[in-house]
Amino acid sequence: MDLALAILLDELAIFQPRIEKAISLKTEFRNVHFLPDESLNIETIVDQSTLFIADATTLTQESTKLPADLLIIGADLSGIKWESLDTLIRLSGETDREALFQHLFDVFASYQAWDQRLLTAIIDQVAIDEFLNIAAEKLQNPMALFDNAMSVMATAGKFVKSPVGTIWEKINLPGYPLLDFFTLQEQNELSINVMKQVDEPYLYRPTFDPDHTYASTHIWVAGKLSGNIGLVDLNAPFTAGQLRVLWHITQRLTQYFKTNDVYQRLAENQTGLINHLLEDPLIQDQNVAYHLGRFGWQRDDAFYLLTFVAPIENLSIIEANTYLKRIYNHFPGSMVTVYQGYIIAIIRQGEYPIETAAEQQSLPLLLGKYQLKCGISRCFHDFLQLKLYFVQSRYAVDIAIQNESASFYFYAPYVTEHLLDCLASSVDLRVFCDPDIVAMLTTADDLDRELLRNLHIYLLHGRNLSAAAKVLNLHRNTLIYRIDKIARRLKLDFNSLSENELFSLIFSCMVAESIDGQDQGIDRCSNYRQK
């Protein structure tokens, strides 16, 4: 393992090193050597990965050619030519050369052994907790690994000082959304760092904990954010060396996730889980069980999927996070994410019985306040079938966009309409109609439309005249007259229909009503969203 100059300076603290020149604290070295006397007369020393140790008294000759990186023992540097140097670190003239060399040798060996253990853990695919425990050995402060929802996957390291008042106090608090520890502005700044794919550790001081500095870094796999590492300077201040150690751990965790599919998926938050379920039918049960377990959910619980549409198209991360937080605050404990421009919330029926009057009174308040539209799927009992219910709720939210009368719609009453819309997108619906009903549609007037509607209700109620008349608010004799009239026009005896004929008639009536609705100008493509 190559060690950054910043790490070496931390490890040399007992010798009180002084930086005289350093192009970069990120400069890395693979080993350390004494600068041998015989090298002084050679033209140059070319070894960019070695840090050389030398006495100041031996470097005063005019003919001396220096290596790029030097650690010099001695106070007098007046005779040394600095022009060719990239790094010059000075130690006291009283420093013992042999003790210094042995110390640096041990430092390189220690980090090399530590890094080898990390690599072995990657190959062996050890549990994430075990991997983090190895990683934390070279950190002075405890570390936490988060998924994209700021849920803790694992922690490692020891507390020398109390974590009271820091985010560590909240990490293991059940149900506490860790993002709420930060102000909205701080959340926006963190989101910007994610959007920029900042690939170095960065520091910040949260408003709610001004006494401590926080360090964060992100784990990217194939261009996707797969996790975050967070530390607080509880035990010791962050040094440039500690930040380089953190960056090395981040790189090794990236390799860990790349070679360990299970933990890569676990590192993804509910967004990753939902995206996989909506796009990847082969997602493993254990990944789903892990995420649901963190919510206290089970795969076969009773769920609803709600799809929301905001009045702004192409939401930015910051705008999306604002809506996500508002919806989560209305449904605490739900899964909320963004997918294909829609905001999706998954709730459990036991916590939010959304078909009750009380829930239906509170939801419009949220939707009206933030100008949202919402579609609600049927209640389902298999979380792995999420894709089916996203289709349902997306259709229902389209109905909500089309209609001004309500801000949310349930999918269940619109199954037939959805079926007909799907069929109509690929074929003329009249293909499926009874020919005589098609003929009626060609010259249909209001009376014919009413006759077809009466027939539809009559057939749906099992040809029970009394039940159909009650639904239609007609006198029974009036309905008898109308059914007889349309029976003569269709040349059918409704009391002796085969199963196939009955289905054909019912479906034909459904198509007739659908075509009638299209003729009245129903348009799903509204101008609801603003670009």
The closest alpha carbon to 301, from 388, 379, 389, 381, belongs to: 381
> What is the C-alpha to C-alpha distance for residues 305 and 387, in angstroms, rounded to an integer?
10
Residue 207: per-residue pLDDT? 92
pLDDT along the chain (531 residues), means of 10: 95 93 92 72 58 80 72 76 81 89 95 96 87 96 82 85 87 61 79 69 92 92 82 95 96 88 52 72 67 82 95 68 80 85 91 90 91 95 92 95 91 91 86 84 77 91 92 93 91 88 89 69 42 35
Residue 61: per-residue pLDDT? 58
Sign of the Cα torsion 155, 159, 162, 165 reads negative
The model's pTM: 0.56
> What is the C-alpha to C-alpha distance for residues 508 and 17, in angstroms, rounded to an integer?
89
295 by Cβ neighbours in 10 Å (0-12 / 13-18 / 19+) ranks as middle
Residues 6 or more apart whose Cβ sits within 8 Å of residue 450: 482
Task: Return the CA Rg of the chain.
Answer: 35
